[in-house]
Amino acid sequence: MAKNRVNTAQVQKAPPSKLLMGLTSQATPSRSEGAAVDGMEVERYPDGSVRYAVNLNNAPVPQRRYVADIATVDYNGFEVNIVFAQTKIFGQGLESALSIKINLNAFNDIVRALYVNVQSELERARQLIKLKDEQLVQVNAEPAHSAKLIANVANFALSGHETCIDFYHVNAYANAKLATSSKLDIEAVVRVDLRTSLFAPFSVELGKIAERIAAGE
């Protein structure tokens, strides 16, 4: 008795999962923690944070922009919190606020760079444009729109009545890589534009906070 022949269809193999291939592949691209700029470790603090010399000429320009009408700074003994705020176009009150958290060592480095690179320009502006310092306003209530960011590097530029601050962040992974590399991975965080008449007294407050930190408060 003849056996019935079973017809078998050729089944095409499904391509391997891209996710699975990514997990099992031996060749993985090097991890990037931001844009690579020239950097050099100057000091490594006991807490593991790093003070470094960094060239920001080739650093990316922050894509986030914030125009500040108010600038204030707070220190709670653990970190520094810089707050910028916008007032409403019409009426009283605040439209938005931006909080930027900065660790203590990074804050001291930022203030040091501020006084070395910008203070002379600020004094020149006081004379040339008869700059008058504004009265700083304390932000006591959170507006409907607010955001929190983190930074540990800042770059300042001053031109007459306008001042610009670019904030950057170097995370812990990038700090670890700096021990064996001359390149520092840096992330552009936000650019803040404000009036020089507001920046002038604000920079004084930054200096006062740095003095409190140095005194161990």
Question: Domain-by-domain residue ranges, the chain?
Answer: 32-212
> Is the pLDDT at 74 greater than 80, yes or no?
yes
pLDDT value of position 22 = 45
Q: Which long-range contacts (CB under 8 A, 24 or more apart) does 139-144 make?
A: 139/70, 139/72, 139/83, 139/85, 139/94, 139/97, 141/94, 142/97, 143/85, 143/93, 143/94, 143/95, 143/96, 143/97, 144/96
pLDDT confidence band for 208 (50 / 70 / 90): very high
pLDDT confidence band for 24 (50 / 70 / 90): very low
pLDDT value of position 140 = 84
| Rounded CA separation 215/217 (Å) | 6
Q: Is 87 helix (H, G, I), strand (E, B) or coil?
A: strand
Q: Of all residues in the chain, what percent carry a pLDDT higher than 70?
A: 78
pLDDT value of position 28 = 46
pLDDT value of position 173 = 83
